[in-house]
Structure 1
Amino acid sequence: METKGAFNPEKDIPDLAGKVFSSQEVGTSGLGKQTILTLAKHGPKHIAFTGRNKKNADSVLSEVKKIAPHVETAYYECDQSSLASVNGAANAFLSTEPTRLDVLICNAGIMGGPMGLTKDGYEIQFGINFLAHTLFTKRFIPLLDRTATEFGEARVVNLTSSGYTMFPGPLSFDELKTTQKNIGMGGKWARYGQSKFAQVIFGSQLAKHYSNITVVSIHPGVVHTNLVEGQPFLDRIFVKMTTIGQSVPLEQGTYNTLWAATIPLQGSIESGSVYYPVGQHQKHTKAASDAGQWKRLWEWTEQQLE
């Protein structure tokens, strides 16, 4: 499945009237903010988003108000290194008794960085990039399911990375509550690839469990946001050298997310799949094609999030 020709948000995003979107971890810059601003121009009913910094969130709310004053927006404070904080943000959104949630965009992420653990004791990249998003998804499944039944469709869009292909598998479940200092060559980059690998295979299993919800994992492309610019000097050079000639401007980096969140479904999107920019279907790597790993990650995750 491929999208023919270039994606143009101005022309290719349909009228979003009545739809409700939720996005995680939106700051004053980066893909999350740019995605929200572009969606707002197309008139959805409501956009809810999370983030760690209220000042940053107020800036986003103000910008949306200027470009789309009739779009309702709401911010929920959330630290995705804490499952209690994720639960709190989910509870706050659900307490408003929303009648629909058309698209959940799992956008937050960290890349590289020093070894560490989340507040719940999970390897930090795995905890933030995978487990926090999975908890949000789990909490919102009933609402997404109801939306799909009543309005014809609902979607989960996971921002993964082509970096998931670096992880050879299988997941070492007994080590996910450690810093994984012995994960092997590449250290921080292996842990990053692992977290993105988990996103991909969990998305495939989620699609199997909920056939009426469209689930996709997308690679946004190489975009030099703060994920890259905030790296230590040598890591920044490494990333830029290994992706030389591949980087795209910030706005273009949102195109694959916007495509997955808004394109008419008929014949366009295969649930449980991975897409590279823009709308280019990718086969799972051999490691990510192991349905046994899908099932085991699903069961492990259910146990962790009980």
Structure 2
Amino acid sequence: MLTSRSSLDFIPDELPYYDPSMTRKVALITGGNSGIGFYTVLHLYLHGFVVYIAGRSKSKVCGAIEKIKTEALRRRSNVIEGDLKTRFLGELHFLELDLLNLANVEKSTVVFKSLNEPVIDLMILNAGIGAIPYALTNDGFEIQFQTNFISNFLFTQRLLPLMNKEQGRIIYVSSIAHHLEIFKFSRDWTFNYKPNIIFTWLRYAMSKTSGIQYMKLLSMKHPELQCYSVHPGLVMNTNFFGYWTRIPFIGIFFWFFFQLFGWFFGCSNEEGSYATLRCALSNEEFVNGSYFVSGGKLASSSKVSSDLNAATNTWIWTTKELEKKGFTDLE
């Protein structure tokens, strides 16, 4: 499904606002310092959320925090005085998290627990990488698979006890590219073949399909939580395609193609955050485990991602692999 800008009729201002002095709403988001994540954090902050931005670089996250605060004040200056009486800014905090290092992921959850936040109302698994050459992390997993899925699995499972048992929401930012897993891939496959321009997308699809499967099973294992997956839209002006545009000589052709494709079918970084924001803030009732596309529209994910047997196999494979690395008690 390709979504153009004209179909993005969702307005974040219509979503509920909270007064943090009366109702403390805590959100934890990975990769919230740039791209789609930046605008997701901006809107949560404008809606009164206490937001913890988990990322590798403290300087980059703190720099983004200052930009978000400045932009929030600018936008509030354009809001009528009557509305300002019901709209309050939240808080912004940094949390160190390196998805390429499972030991650091574990440490990050321990640090967060030490902050004594009573509950997490909202967890957004936003960070991800894709369209890059084959590589293994120091933990021995394919780099896209660990970043986009395995580390998210570990991070979430460790923090599940802190999730709000009545209104908690977990949102996984996936991709329309998950449809490229046209049949069930073995999670042991690394697709370390050439040409990379083809097999990188199969590695990416497997990682994003696994995330959707995780949300579907999590919604069944913990029905008290609302778990959703979203495809943010075709956001072409992020660093996602940086590898391709930097290739000597032919990089300029990739850049031109991405710009042209984005003009017709793409959406901005802010519009890319709308699907996440609707799932995060809306009071509408959605079927738990649902999948949404650009603008927060309900859609159907791929056959493989919706196959509960395949999802169960992915869950079992992941827990066993993490147990081999010393990460136990993940059920």
Q: TM-score range by the shorter chain?
A: 0.7 to 0.9
**Contact 1:183-1:191 within 8 A present in 2 as well:** no
The letter for the 1-side match of 2:43 is T
**Superposition pairs for residues 1-306 of structure 1, below 5 Å?**
6-15=9-18, 17=20, 18-27=24-33, 29-44=34-49, 46-66=50-70, 67=72, 71-144=90-163, 147-148=164-165, 152-175=166-189, 178=190, 180-181=192-193, 186-223=198-235, 224-232=237-245, 233=251, 235-236=254-255, 239=258, 245-265=264-284, 267=285, 269-305=286-322, 306=328
Q: CA deviation at 1:208?
A: 0.9
Q: What is the CA-CA distance between 1:201 and the residue it aligns to?
A: 1.2
CA shift at 1:116, angstroms?
Answer: 0.3
| C-alpha deviation, 1:173, in angstroms | 2.6
Distance 2:256 2:99 in 1: 27
**Does the C-alpha gap of structure 1 residues 255 and 50 become closer, same or farther in structure 2, counting only changes over 3 Å?**
same
Unpaired stretches in structure 2, ≥5 consecutive residues = 1-6, 74-87, 246-250, 323-327
- What is the aligned-residue RMSD (CA, Å)? 2.4
The answer (yes or no) to whether the contact 2:52–2:94 under 8 Å persists in 1 is yes
Distance 1:289 1:10, change over 3 A: closer
Structure 2 CA distance for partners of 1:78 and 1:15, relative to 1, 3 Å = same
Deviation at 1:183, TM superposition (A): 10
> Structure 1: how far apart are the matches of 2:103 and 2:256?
36
CA distance in 1, matches of 2:299, 2:31: 26
Query: 1-side partners of 2:295 and 2:160: how far apart?
Result: 26
For the residues of structure 2 that align with 1:290 and 1:238, how far apart are their CA atoms? 34
Q: Is the 8 A contact 2:47 2:89 kept in 1?
A: no
Whose radius of gyration is greater, 1 or 2? 2
Per-residue deviation at 1:57?
1.2
* Alpha-carbon distance in structure 1 between the residues aligned to 2:16 and 2:238: 24
Q: Which amino acid aligns with 1:278?
A: G
8 Å CA contact 1:52, 1:77 repeated in 2 = yes
The 1-side partners of 2:272 and 2:159 are apart by: 26
Partner of 1:104: helix, strand, or coil? strand
Aligned length: 292
Residue 186 to residue 36, structure 1, CA distance change in 2 (3 Å)? same
Greater mean alpha carbon deviation, residues 85-94 or residues 71-80: 71-80
Q: Check conservation: 1:183, 1:190, Cα contact below 8 A.
A: no
TM-score by length of 1: 0.87
Please tell me whether the aligned partners of residues 65 and 92 of structure 2 are also in contact (alpha carbons under 8 angstroms).
yes
- Distance in 2 (CA, whole Å) between partners of 1:245 and 1:16 is 39
2:241 partner amino acid: V
Q: Indicate the SS of the match to 2:241.
A: helix
In 1, Cα distance between the equivalents of 2:9 and 2:219?
Answer: 27
